[in-house]
Chains A and B, each alone.
Chain A
Amino acid sequence: MLRNRRIESHPILHFQRGKEVTIFFEGTPIKAFEGESLAAALYASGIDVFRWTPKLGRPRGPFCMVGKCGSCMVEVNGVAVRSCITPVREGMNIRRLRGLPTLPKNLDRMIEKENSDNPFEEVKTDVLIVGGGPAGMAASEVLASNGMNVFLVDDQIRLGGQLIKQTHIFFGSQELFAGKRGFRIAEEYEAKLRSLKNLHILLQTTAIGVFKEGVLLLNKGKGLIIKPKYVVLSAGAFENYLLFENNDLPGVMGAGGAQTLMNLYGVLPGREVVVVGSGNVGLIITYQLLQAGAKVKAIVEAAPRIGGWFVHAAKVRRYGVPILLRHTVIAAEGKDRVRAAIISEVDERWEPVKGTEKRIECDTILLAVGLTPNTELVRQFGVKTVYVPELGGLVPVRNKYLETNIPNVFVAGDVAGVEEATTAFIEGWIAAYSILIKEKGPQSQYVKKRNEYIRMLDEYRSSPVSARVRSGLRHVEVGGS
């Protein structure tokens, strides 16, 4: 049953795997590498079913690969964990989770200082930045290198957000990293950040809520209450789901989840894949799958036209991948893993047309059907949000300096409307200079920089592909300052 899904050769990526360790899956020894997430290691060894659901006993495997969905839960030494955000460790004993997790009696998350009134440490700081993707990294750099004390928190194992799984080359100007691949940009930017001594980077740390006492951060069960003067919310976006029969079968995965497996850990998500959605994400993941040696049987798109950029579409077409417009997935087949996708034509109202069903044999269905801004914390701060479909859903209202209706609370990147890494960087810089101007007064070097970035953003968005974003922004951008 155990196959090897690790990618051994890749045209552009070279996977530096850590020290080899042995873990045990239901008694069977499995090879894994330090630095991998447990989900990646299990998946690499051909394991599809990670858990059985409590009510209906349905099989589940990884979907998001970033700790957000819970479908990858397994028991490690008797404790239920999300395997996609749990690093492997030598000798781990793993079992599939059957039903609900049992709370362990051994307390590895003991709240310390049992008798003190407040077991959490409290810290004051100038700026708290939530989310270490392009927007958060950009804001951190500008703020920390201009003398502000900054806490940057991110719930993942590594910094960089979506960037660390982007293998394509960015275009644009030099300042905007033209000619570099996404993960390289993340690496170089991280190195820059690591040299700033006013910047405190906390990984595997979740900002769980906004309270009277401050913002509560949790790091592996340890709490920290942080009281910032300014906040930049840059928590990005999460992947959308799609409703169809058996959409919970192992092998149905988010495109982002598949990118994490493939580009970060060097594990092939599947051999024969159907991709749903022809936006840039769907097109790029298709190309990446081809590079990694998988076969993409089709891209299925409900709209009458391709959603992503022409250059990307042309590339996958050259490889002979059919893009089926006005089609959708209506069911997945399989017992413990996808064996086929049933697709069908749709009418103008995107309803499946009876009698047009087709069966495509495949082992993986990847959903690239858009993202939704991750505005939970934004709303907890009391920031006003409005529903703007062009920007991905509920988005915060803000001015062009990215300050919201709650003074000193700023937003940047996908959380403010789903766009891309380049615009996220620029928004991070704009938010950072706005904070510097508020804190230190309108010093000319800050104002000049901010204006430059605002102009750069306008320019970047002036292309026809940004038309939707431009029209969406009209609903959320208010006033000056």
Chain B
Amino acid sequence: MRRAEIAIVGGGITGLSAAYYLSLMGIDNISIYEAKYIGYGSTGRCAAGIRASFTSEVHVTLMKEAIKGWKKWSEEIDGVKFYQDGYLWLLTNDKEVRLHKEIMSLHNSLGVPTKLVDREEVKEIAPNIVLSDVMAALYDPTAGKSSPFDTTLALRRLLLKRGVKIHEYTKVLRMIRAGSKIKSITVEGVGEQEVEYVVIAAGFWSRELLQPLGYEIPIIGDPHHLMITEKVSPLVKPLVIHKASGSYLNQLPTGKIILGAEYPVRENDLELRIGFIIKAVKMMSRYFPSILNANLQRIWIGYYLKTPDHHPLIGFLPGLENAVIATGFSGHGYMMSPIIGEEIANLVVKGRPRLKATEKLRPSRFEEGEMLEEKAIFG
């Protein structure tokens, strides 16, 4: 039989980042198994946003580390680029303004320098905006964006160079348990493969992979639409969110404009909705009317993976010594990936994560009754 390996199930950003840090730590028998192609899951469908301005200490701590990671990736990985262009939350009523004053204090106390800005300052940050009903905005200058396509392809190239095996169109069908270990996995078209460790980074599909072993992980897939326009000259630098409707606009450095909006549909219903286009365009054209003149290029839908406390799962699966899971990132798994990958590697190599915050995200927390709290979940 072939040498036992460290098998990573899932070639999304989580799996790729884990492989990167494992490889940096000197591990040389890593395989990534991807059922479709790199980035097929939520990663290739995300809005490219990155921010530390959350309202739970755990999220903020992780994201501050992640942003350090993004800066490092930008320097060290050919093809990855993090643009620190900021986030701007438009607030359109008194209640929101009051709430965001509190949120700002919380951010500031956790070391994230967000700032409540008035209409004039909004206009300075985003000169092309039509202020309309904007009363104020919360601005996060440390937030930014990075292209998921550039990043995943850059990682893929680098990993191959470092000797990581990447198997695309190769699904992991089953995991086989022996006592407190996963002994092997069954791989489509390959057969049984012995494993030293297995990292489950299979996003939405982690659930179906774990069910046969008796694990019911508490995540649900919540479909979210996005659309993107053709390239146009710079319109606005920060990612802009209309807080009240959960709509947002993110112009990528290429010039394309991503538009998103909260538009609820059921879990197993991935049919695209014209209603989404109408909502997103209607909301964001209030502030950037010229987007009505842009040509729509693509529209798609992908999963936010929600857990009961809106925080991800990362850690050993209860009762297993060699199986680490990392999923349930809601709308934030792309931005968190540098720290998540590093912590997965720490769990595998050292048996524990570097940060206390990561420990809090252990999958067993729900049974142990230790839920976390987060107020700012979107984007």
Contact A104 B275 (CB under 8 A): no
Contact with B along A87-128 (1 / 0, CB 8 A): 000000000000111111101111100100111100000000
Would you list the 9 A-B pairs with minimal beta carbon distance, nearest first?
A103-B290, A100-B233, A212-B271, A102-B233, A211-B274, A213-B274, A100-B255, A211-B272, A103-B293
A54, B231: Cβ atoms closer than 8 Å: yes
- In this complex, the interface size class of chain B, counting residues with CB under 8 Å from chain A, is 20 to 34
Contact A104 B290 (CB under 8 A): yes
Q: A120 near B274 (CB under 8 angstroms)?
A: yes
B275 touches A213 (CB 8 A): yes
Nearest B residue to A214, CB-CB: B274
A148 shortest CB reach to chain B, Å: 25
A residues near B233, Cβ cutoff 8 Å: 99-103
A-contacting residues, B307-333, CB 8 Å: none
Residues of A within 8 A of B372 (CB): none
B213 interface hit (Cβ, 8 Å): no
With A54-B255, A111-B282, A118-B278 as given contacts, are A103 and B271 in contact (CB-CB < 8 Å)?
Answer: no
Within 8 A of B (CB), among A187-235: 208-214, 216, 221, 223, 225
Chain B residues, CB < 8 A from A157: none
Closest residue of chain B to A102 (Cβ to Cβ) is B233
Say yes or no: is B296 at the interface (Cβ < 8 Å to chain A): yes
Say yes or no: B231 contacts A111, CB within 8 Å.
Answer: no
Complex: how many Å from CA A193 to CA B292? Answer: 34
In chain B between 277 and 311, which residues have their CB closer than 8 angstroms to a CB of chain A? 278, 281-282, 285, 289-294, 296, 299
Contact of B292 among A99, A109, A209, A212 (CB under 8 A): A109
Report the count of interface residues on A (CB-CB < 8 A).
Answer: 31
CB distance from A220 to the nearest CB of B (A): 12
Known A111-B281, A212-B273, A225-B274: A101·B232 in contact at CB below 8 Å: yes
Q: Decide if B274 touches A117 in the complex (CB within 8 Å).
A: no
B292 contacts A107, C-beta separation under 8 Å: yes
Question: How far does the alpha carbon of A99 sit from the alpha carbon of B254 in the complex, in Å?
Answer: 11
Question: For the complex, is B117 an interface residue (Cβ under 8 Å from A)?
Answer: no
Closest to A115 in B: B282
Best-buried of A54, A103, A119 by chain B (most CB within 10 Å): A103
Nearest CB of A to B228, in Å: 13
Determine how close the nearest CB of chain B comes to the CB of A71; give it in whole angstroms: 13
Tell me the complex Cα distance, A384–B282, Å: 34
Cα–Cα distance between A221 and B272 once the two chains are bound (Å): 20
Is A79 an interface residue when CB atoms closer than 8 A count as contact?
A: yes
Q: Mark B254-266, 1 if CB is under 8 A from A, else 0.
A: 0100000000000
> Residue A212 contacts which of B272, B278, B289, B296 (CB distance < 8 angstroms)?
B272
Question: From residue B226, how far is it (CB to closest CB) to chain A in Å?
Answer: 14
What B residues does A110 contact at CB under 8 A?
292
Cβ of A208: which chain B residues have Cβ within 8 Å of it? 296
What are 7 pairs between A and B in contact, CB < 8 Å? A102-B232, A103-B232, A104-B290, A111-B282, A210-B272, A213-B274, A213-B275
Whole-angstrom distance between the alpha carbons of A110 and B282 in the complex?
A: 11
Looking at the assembled complex, report how far the CB atom of A229 sits from the nearest CB atom of chain B, in whole angstroms.
18
The chain B residue with its CB closest to the CB of A111 is B292
User: B294 — which chain A residues lie within 8 A by C-beta?
Assistant: 103
Within 8 Å by CB of B278, from A105, A108, A117, A209, lies A117
Residue of A101, A105, A114 contacting most chain B CB atoms (<10 Å)? A101
Residues of A within 8 A of B (CB): 54, 70, 79, 99-105, 107-111, 114, 117-120, 208-214, 216, 221, 223, 225
**A118 (CB) vs chain B CBs: closest residue:** B278
B235 located at the interface, meaning its Cβ lies under 8 Å from any Cβ of chain A in the complex: yes
Are A114 and B282 in contact, CB atoms less than 8 angstroms apart? yes
B141 to chain A, nearest CB (A): 25
* A211/B271 in contact, CB under 8 A: yes
CB atoms of A213 and B293 under 8 A apart: no
Chain A residues within 8 Å of B296, by CB: 208
Task: Determine the distance from Cα of A99 to Cα of B289 in the docked complex, in whole angstroms.
Answer: 22
Q: How far is A271 from B310 in the complex, measured between Cα atoms in Å?
A: 67
Residues from chain A with Cβ under 8 Å of B230 in the complex? 70
Instruction: Evaluate contact between A107 and B289: CB separation under 8 angstroms.
Output: yes
Question: When the two chains form their complex, are residues B273 and A103 in contact, meaning their CB atoms are under 8 A apart?
Answer: no
State whether B275 touches A111 (Cβ < 8 A). Answer: no
- B290:A105 contact, CB within 8 angstroms: yes
Q: A120: nearest residue on chain B (CB-CB)?
A: B274
Q: How far apart sit A212 and B299, CA to CA, in the bound complex (Å)?
A: 13
Contacts A105-B289, A105-B290, A213-B275 supplied; 8 other A-B pairs, CB < 8 Å: A79-B293, A103-B232, A107-B289, A107-B293, A111-B285, A118-B278, A119-B282, A214-B274
B272: chain A residues at CB < 8 Å are 209-212
Contacts of B274 in A (CB 8 A): 120, 211-214, 216, 223, 225
**B235 — which chain A residues lie within 8 A by C-beta?**
103
A285 to B154, CA, bound (A): 43
**Least Cβ–Cβ distance between B245 and chain A, in angstroms:** 13
Q: How far is the CA of A214 from the CA of B277 in the complex (A)?
A: 13
CB distance from A164 to the nearest CB of B (A): 25
Q: Which of B231, B255, B273 contacts A213 (CB 8 A)?
A: B273
Q: How far is the CA of A266 from the CA of B289 in the complex (A)?
A: 40
Nearest CB of chain B from residue A213's CB, rounded to whole Å: 5
Q: How far is the CB of A234 from chain B (nearest CB, A)?
A: 23
Which of chain A's residues have a CB closer than 8 A to the CB of B281? 111
B271 and A104 contacting across the interface, CB-CB below 8 Å: no
Q: Given A211-B273, A216-B274, A100 and B232 touching (CB < 8 A)?
A: yes
Taken residue by residue from 219 to 243, chain B's Cβ proximity to chain A (1 for < 8 Å, 0 otherwise) reads as 0000000000011110100000000
In the complex, the chain A residue whose C-beta lies closest to that of B272 is: A211
B231 cross-chain contacts in A, Cβ below 8 A: 54, 100-101
How far apart sit A70 and B272, CA to CA, in the bound complex (Å)? 26
Asked if A108 and B293 make an inter-chain contact with CB atoms under 8 angstroms apart, the answer reads: yes
Q: How distant is A206 from chain B, measured CB to nearest CB, in Å?
A: 10
Q: Which residue of chain B has its CB nearest to the CB of A117?
A: B278
**How many whole Å from A228's CB to the nearest CB in chain B?**
15
